[in-house]
Structure 1
């Protein structure tokens, strides 16, 4: 993933790609940019050319991009093909030094971001993280922090993010964006809304100059209504684009996640209903949700009631069974 591993100033992403020598590294960087800027169709076309390339790094990168871009497009068969190729490649090269570290990184990213179990061949993070170059290491730390979040170890996850940013991850904007977003998830779970807001705004500051908007759509359901509270009032058109990405990505994500895990993450709620139901499932009161989203408590109550009706449940505590982990 050469673009993940490239430091650049916000607004200089495309210039950084143009400065790369022509060849697989630059082509993969273009595919990365297409994906992270919400251009899934272009990302698929660019990545597809390298799915069976003899260069392992190019192949691993292409498979990861191809899997997630097709997920966004609802092309689940193609996503599964790419995930199978990733698994095969992981088995072949996971013990081979730097190639093994790259394979382990990609395997962890593919599994954790889909909220699926880690591959059986996955080495401990402490073994492969030090072998990664700095930019990939920063994104791998995001994956580890996301994993801790899924385990509900929010304080440890947030500490990992803060440490990664202090130690230099912030110079790799794409990795830094994702680190900030998982910090938002952690701090919202801990009800530390001011810290969550600060991390979201920093992610937005890094992303907006290069239109690196994909991550916000991917994480919408986990951000605890923070996009509605912060981005929607200030950047309504960008918010609309994020929501379009959210609907596309979430639909594809559920088609992989729900069958493979047996979970029943809701797919029949609006993004606002889902965001409010997520907060309610985390133990937020109607008053707390109302203050956070600048709504009336009665409006919050109505959204929760609509969500429960759509999910055919009668108890508020049952919402958790239909929300993202």
Structure 2
């Protein structure tokens, strides 16, 4: 996986005034990260299908941050759409990324992003954490 200076779920991690989400996304210079932010916007606007359509191309991305963001959004959107199998596949990919990154000599920010994604998905959909990863 490629090293990245990006952040997981860039819209959620941004500050903006109510009603100014679109303007905030348009200011993101990194086009791939902006696409993830648009997917977040659609998910939180109850447009899960549009979210899925954007993030599908990032599910196997070499950049772990884009991949984790896509996996998280794909999991939650597909649960909303009633596709538990697709949601489970993306959730399992977060775990694979988590295990791989934790074994490698990667920047602490990437490890933290993996921990964040792993815990968020596990907690939000009530999946018990693997015992060896209780932090």
Alignment TM class, shorter chain as reference: 0.7 to 0.9
Q: Could you say which residue in structure 2 is the equivalent of 1:74?
A: 82
Please, what TM-score do these two structures have when normalized by structure 1?
0.37
SS in 2 for 1:4: coil
Cα–Cα, structure 1 residues 34 and 121, in superposed 2: closer, same or farther, change >3 Å?
Answer: farther
Matched, 1:109 2:120: yes
Shift of 1:123: 5.4
Which of the numbers 43, 50, 54 marks the counterpart of 1:46?
54
For 2:20, the equivalent position in structure 1 comes to 12
1:25 to 15, 27, 33: 33
For residues 68 and 121 of structure 1, do their structure 2 counterparts lie closer, same or farther at Cα, with a shift above 3 Å needed? Answer: farther
Closer/same/farther in 2, CA of residues 9 and 49 from structure 1, 3 Å limit: same
Looking at secondary structure, tell me which structure has more helix per residue. Answer: 1
Q: CA deviation at 1:49?
A: 1.0
Q: Equivalent of 2:92, from 79, 84, 88?
A: 84
How far apart in 1 are the matches of 2:113 and 2:133?
A: 11
CA distance, structure 1, for counterparts of residue 90 and residue 16 of structure 2: 29
Q: Look up the match of 1:219.
A: none
User: What is the aligned partner in structure 1 of residue 42 from structure 2?
Assistant: 34
1:215-234, aligned counterparts within 5 Å?
A: none
Deviation string 1:3-33 (CA, Å, 9 cap, x unpaired) is: 1111001110110001111421101000111
Matches within 5 A, 1:75-224: 75-94=83-102, 96=106, 97-122=108-133, 124=135
Contact kept? 1:108, 1:122, Cα under 8 Å: no
Unaligned runs of 5+ in 1: 125-325
Tell me the distance in 1 between the aligned counterparts of 2:32 and 2:16.
20
Tell me, yes or no, if the aligned pair for 1:104 and 1:123 is still in contact at 8 Å: no
Please tell me whether Structure 1 or Structure 2 has the larger radius of gyration of its CA atoms: 1
**TM-score of the pair, normalised by structure 2:** 0.86
5+ residue gaps, structure 2, are 1-8
Deviation of 1:119 after TM superposition, in Å, equals 3.4
In the alignment of these two chains, the number of paired residues is: 124
2:66 aligned with 1:55 = no
2:87 and 2:98 map into 1 onto residues whose CA distance is 16
Secondary structure, counterpart of 1:67 in structure 2: helix
Report the secondary structure of 1:49's partner residue.
helix
